[in-house]
Amino acid sequence: MVNFVVITKGSGRIAEVAARFTLDAMPGKQMAIDADLSAGLIEEKEARARRKALEDEASFFGAMDGASKFVRGDAIAALLITFINIVGGIIIGVAQQSMSFLAAAQTYTLLSVGDGLVSQVPALIVSTAAGLLVSKAGVRGAADKAMGKQLSTYPKALGMSAAVMGAIALLPGIPMLPFVGLAVAAGWAAWSMDQANKARARTAAPDGTPVDPGAVAAAAEEPIADVLKMDDLKIEIGYAIVPLVNSTDGTDRVTEQIKALRRQLAADVGFVMPSVRILDNVQLDSTAYVIRVKEIEAGTGHIFPGLFMAMDPMGGQVQLPGQHLLEPTFGLPATWIDASLRDEASMRGYTVVDAATVLSTHLTEVIKGHMAELLSHIEVQKLLKDLPKEHAELVKEIVPAQISTTGIQRVLQLLLTERVSIRDLGTIIEGIAEVAGALKNPRDIMEHVRTRLARQICAQYQAPAGHLPIITLSPPWEGAFLESIVGQGEDRHLAMQPSKLTEFVHSVRDRFEDAARMGEMPVLVTSAGSRPFVRSIIERFRRETPVLSQGEIHSRVRLKTVGSV
């Protein structure tokens, strides 16, 4: 009855509550793992291991909830078997053996003791083991090691138990030998544990942490190894911005937006961006942040959690009270206003965004400007490995016979430099295969691949009305560029007079400003021979301006000429 009422009932309740709480906590733990992964605190491999451990934990407590029902049933069955043996024995003794009821009860009750022990002792052991297993909470490792560690932590408790058992052994009518034996065993265990604790204390660090002599040299080298590690993407934030990343109410706006950003960029660009690591930096101003690409500063700004940034779409100054600063992404005039003025700003036609959106927008533009640097050799190998079977066979034909994986990486990086998506990797590989045998310069190969991606490139720059606004390069300038190209093959370069280049830069800037006043965002169209050199000049003062060759204009695209250089 003690086994049934106390042990099995208690362990069953523990298993039930543990299973319920574990399942309820799973979504939060999953979100925490995803947040750490997106923030760059852990790698993908560790994230998978954590998810697997979380699933195993939930499965274990769910299984133990069911197993506790079997354990309780086993205890009930043991009691029923003993009861049936006693009742059956009395009936047999009275009916068949012609015994009196008292004699039959005395005889068969004694005979049932042995069988009862055979069924009750295993049930008691199983229920006790189940209780220990499900009640092991907040402790890592196996249950036996956890119990041994907890007992060895407090040797005084075992010493007190030894003293109590020794005192009980001296009482009259109590069997002395068993209690003396238990007292000696518990006392010896307490003494051994106390000596071991004292030995560990003598070799411990000043803060109480045990020191492994073999780990001293490795620990001394760890700071050097940490210095050598480099994060592809990292955001350093001031202490006032920390609540946007690690808030107490679970609304980690920046982390959630970075996760959505990585997913969106993967769909737009064609490869998975590295994880973004977020660190607090006490050397920064409280409202400042720094975005780093491969540890080099790529963007910086100030945001104010709790306030909203208002901007005039026409580029003017916001006529509302607040902190007047420049928007960090594009350098436009902006004002940080109080939350109470948000509705008024929206009614006046201002663009209003919160602090987390400002940071994620800045991060987006920084990533788009450094996509080529973020496309690593390992990522290219992964992209080629994940290609469909028909394109994978083509890769085997040209790599490494005609072009190396590094060569393909360079072609992809050149495309990304001009913000051309590499998601259609199959078409890109086909374009590379067409000219890889004849061309060795990655830039020349990239120029051919761009013609294969003509429809994609034109669609990227089409206006909402469906046309492609263009600014053409006049024949005199085309001739000037072609005449200024010197050298052959990979040694070709532009040798134009500086005064001529300055004139060209001013002319391009004027034409694009005129188009902007017309509400158009055009592309510059040149000949195929001059496009790389025109692009190399324009990217120095108008990095986002697309330059297309005539061969990259798809035949079905409707053109609208808005000017000529």
DSSP string, 423-474: --HHHHHHHHHHHTTT---HHHHHHHHHHHTHHHHHHHH--TTSEEEEEEPP
C-alpha 472/C-alpha 247 separation (Å) is 52
**Mean pLDDT value across residues 196-203:** 72
β pairing state of 351-354 and 308-311 = antiparallel
Give residue for tokens 């965002």.
521
Distances (CA, A) of 544 to 308, 461, 473: 28, 11, 18
Half-sphere exposure of 520 (CA within 13 A, CB side): 22
Within 96-140, residue ranges assigned H as helices are 101-134
The answer on pLDDT for 221 being more than 60 is no
The answer on pLDDT for 20 being more than 70 is yes
For the question of whether the overall pTM of this predicted structure is more than 0.85, the answer is no
Under the banding of pLDDT at 50, 70 and 90, the label for residue 222 is low
Question: Do 261 and 356 contact (CB within 8 A), yes or no?
Answer: no
pLDDT at res. 282: 87
pLDDT in tens, 272-327: 888 899 998 989 999 999 999 999 999 999 999 989 999 998 888 888 999 999 99
DSSP 8-class letter at 315: S
Question: Do 151 and 158 contact (CB within 8 A), yes or no?
Answer: yes
pLDDT in tens, 468-497: 999 999 999 999 999 998 887 777 888 888
C-alpha 192/C-alpha 404 separation (Å) is 66
- Domains identified in the chain and CATH numbers: 2-198 (no CATH), 233-370 (3.40.30.60), 375-452 (1.10.8.540), 464-565 (3.40.50.12790)
* Torsion angle defined by CA atoms of residues 482, 486, 487 and 491, in that order, rounded to the nearest 10 degrees: -90
C-alpha 20/C-alpha 18 separation (Å) is 5
**Mean pLDDT value across residues 34-49:** 77
pLDDT at res. 257: 87
C-alpha 287/C-alpha 239 separation (Å) is 7
Higher-confidence residue: 75 or 85? 85
